[in-house]
Structure 1
Amino acid sequence: MSKQRARLIYNPSSGKEMMRQHLPEILDILESAGLETSCHMTKGSDDAREAAVKAAADEFDYVIAAGGDGTVNEVVNGLSSAPIRPTLGILPAGTSNDLARALRIPRNLVKAAKQLTKFQVRPLDVGQANDHFFINIAGCGRITEITYEVPSKMKTALGQLAYYMKGLEKIPQLGAIHLEVEAPNFGFSGKAMLCLICNSRRVGGFEKLAPEAEPDDGLFDVILIKQSSIPDIVKLATQALRGEHIHNQRVMYFQTDRLKITSNERVDLNLDGEYGGSLPKEFRVLKHHLRVLV
């Protein structure tokens, strides 16, 4: 019987450059478990997606994304568009690692590699926004622009602190935007601070942002925050740390497998922490579109 093949796609600058340090040991762990493993080091924007497209075309059994949420998003985009999709693995080497934490993948890279070699697989929903895919979160609103405005060198040096620094800088600009949200069981038209379309509970360090979300239930958990003052936003953020924000009168929270969002102004979209174009967009859940090692 031929060995199973894995393609490891890694971002060398993710999470204070941890992958460079641990790469030989990780490769040894994967090879010892019977995975014939080859590497691709990403060299720039969209490189991880192209590498994942090629790995799927080359019929690898597994594609392992080693990096932050942006690297995972690119790999998911590459795999999701393929007719035959390898099983996804994640080595969380980034700043937030939202999906990895939701799937209880260890933060330590060596422990995570050992966990992958247990070959425990579960199905994973993928979100689609027009022709882009996302795995954890799609968001629009001024505050969501923070994640793709933080330079990668700043993220490498400061980690999560880089986001908080950018957030403080953004506070004066946190105005409401006009949104039209249409779903089979929900409609909204008016000013909003934020709209988040979640596939898992954990987003940007908030463990319970979408407390009922599961990454394989075939549903998005949507959070819409109505127009609010800065003190209201600060209070909401405090409640969100405990998962109590969904009871706030300014928050609308619902589940759906598809929705459409439009606006009469320029509104950019954030997909898994990366720039995802601008509205209008149609979103739908691709239930169990990928398989992932957990």
Structure 2
Amino acid sequence: MKAMIVVNPSSGSEQAEEFVTQLETRLREQFKEIVTKETQEAGDAEKFSSQAALEGYDAIFLMGGDGTINEGINGIAKQDYHPLIGVIPLGTINNFARVLGISMNAKVAINQLDFKNTKKVDIGKVNDLFFVSTVSVGSIPETVQHVDDEAKSKLGPLAYVMEGVKALNDDETSVFRMKLDGDDFEGNYSMLVIGLSKSVSGIGTVFSSAEIDDGYLYMLCLKKSTAVEKMKLIPELLRASDDYSEKLVLKKFKLADLKSKEGKEFTTTVDGNKGPKFPVHLEVYKQLLTVYVPKLN
């Protein structure tokens, strides 16, 4: 059996090299051949993961933040053969790892690895890009695209909060035309957030009824609101309920086509990074990939 480790050495922690050594030691319990690849630039994680899938590796272990995980998943999902996937979080938010019950402490996550315990998970796709957590549209999620690596390293999740606050006063809305599972909808919203599971940006109660393996995408649509009104909505996202106020509209679907009535070319945010521009097509691939999860799951 052979495994590939794909690691972003600059992601989240200066201890990445130490964690790679620890993971290699752990993997020798299960795999005869272990190859480690370090990313140097954008696209490397996808390239390495794609190579491993094409060469028939039994497993791929992705070490990094949400961007590295997203790239790795894209490299795997686009192939006919899908190796087993291990996730070791080194980033700021690590939303996908949180959903799977994986520790945010890389050392603990490595120790938790159970080679006999796996879970099939859903993967989303927006146009030609696969995603494991969220797709969002609007001024607040767009600010996430501007958070640099230095700010992430120094401030962690607070870096995203500080950028997001800057956009709270932006109450610009657009009319979105949507086709959800064949049904047409139209609404005037300032933000759309689409997720695969309960968790969005590390907040595990945004879509309380969602599961990572249920075969659905979930979308929250934010109506026109002031900064104060947006702040008042935060408690709604922190409670284990899908009972939202009239400012938030929840939709559940498998297939969607989204566009702006005014023809605006919104740029989506996908798993925390810049994604495709409008119009977009979204779909979910039910239980497409298999991931190692801790015994506690």
RMSD between aligned alpha carbons?
1.7
Does structure 2 conserve the Cα–Cα contact (< 8 Å) formed by 1:178 and 1:192?
A: yes
Whole-angstrom CA distance in 2 between matches of 1:25 and 1:56 = 23
The whole-number CA distance in structure 2 between the counterparts of 1:246 and 1:65 is 36
Query: What is the SS of the residue equivalent to 2:210?
Result: coil
Please identify runs of 4+ aligned residues in structure 1 that moved more than 6 A.
none
Q: Which deviations, in whole Å up to 9, do the C-alpha atoms of 1:156-187 show, x marking residues without a partner? A: 22211111121223334453233212213754
Pick from 197, 200, 210 the counterpart of residue 200 of structure 1: 197
The gaps in structure 2 that reach 5 residues or longer are none
How many residues get paired? 291
> Residue 244 of structure 1: CA displacement?
5.0
Aligned to 2:120: 123
Deviations 1:215-266 (A, max 9, x none): 1111111111122221111111232122457421111112111111101212
Contact 2:171 2:225 in 1 (8 A): no
Conserved? CA contact 2:98–2:202, under 8 Å: no
Q: Distance in 2 between matches of 1:270 and 1:97?
A: 16
> Does 1:82 find its partner at 2:79?
yes
Closer, same or farther in 2 for the Cα pair 1:34/1:117, shift >3 Å? farther
1:167 and 2:148 are equivalent in the alignment? no
Find the counterpart in structure 1 of residue 225 from structure 2. 228
Query: How far apart in 2 are the matches of 1:246 and 1:36?
Result: 50
Aligned 8 A contact 1:236 1:245 in 2: no
The sequence identity of aligned pairs, in percent, is 29
Q: Is the 8 A contact 1:184 1:258 kept in 2?
A: yes
Q: What amino acid is the match of 2:190?
A: M
Aligned: 1:209 with 2:206: yes
Establish whether residue 9 from structure 1 lines up as the match of residue 10 from structure 2: no
Q: Report which of the two has the higher share of helix.
A: 1
CA distance in 2, matches of 1:185, 1:234: 34
Q: Which moved more, 1:231-240 or 1:207-216?
A: 231-240
The secondary structure found in structure 2 opposite 1:32 is coil
1:79 Cα offset (Å): 0.5
For 2:17 and 2:173, locate their aligned partners in 1 and report how far apart those are by CA, in whole Å. 42
Query: How far does residue 69 in structure 1 lie from its aligned partner after superposition?
Result: 0.9
Is contact 2:173-2:188 (8 Å) kept? Answer: yes
Q: TM-score, normalised by structure 2?
A: 0.92
Alignment of 1:116-195 (within 5 A): 116-184=113-181, 187-195=184-192
Which residue number corresponds to residue 278 of structure 2?
279
- Conservation of the 8 A alpha-carbon contact between 1:105 and 1:112: yes
Q: Identify the residue that residue 287 of structure 2 maps to in structure 1.
A: 288
- Equivalent residue letter for 1:45: A
Q: Say if 1:155 and 1:35 are closer, same or farther in 2 by CA, change over 3 A.
A: farther
Aligned residues of 1:225 and 1:251 also touching (Cα < 8 A): yes
Distance 2:274 2:116 in 1: 32
Per-residue deviation at 1:289? 1.1
CA separation of 1:173 and 1:252: change in aligned 2, threshold 3 A: closer
Counterpart AA for 2:267: D
For structure 1, the 5+ residue unaligned runs are: none
Post-superposition offset of 1:191: 2.2
Q: 1:106 aligns with which of 97, 103, 106?
A: 103
2 CA distance for matches of 1:107 and 1:10? Answer: 16
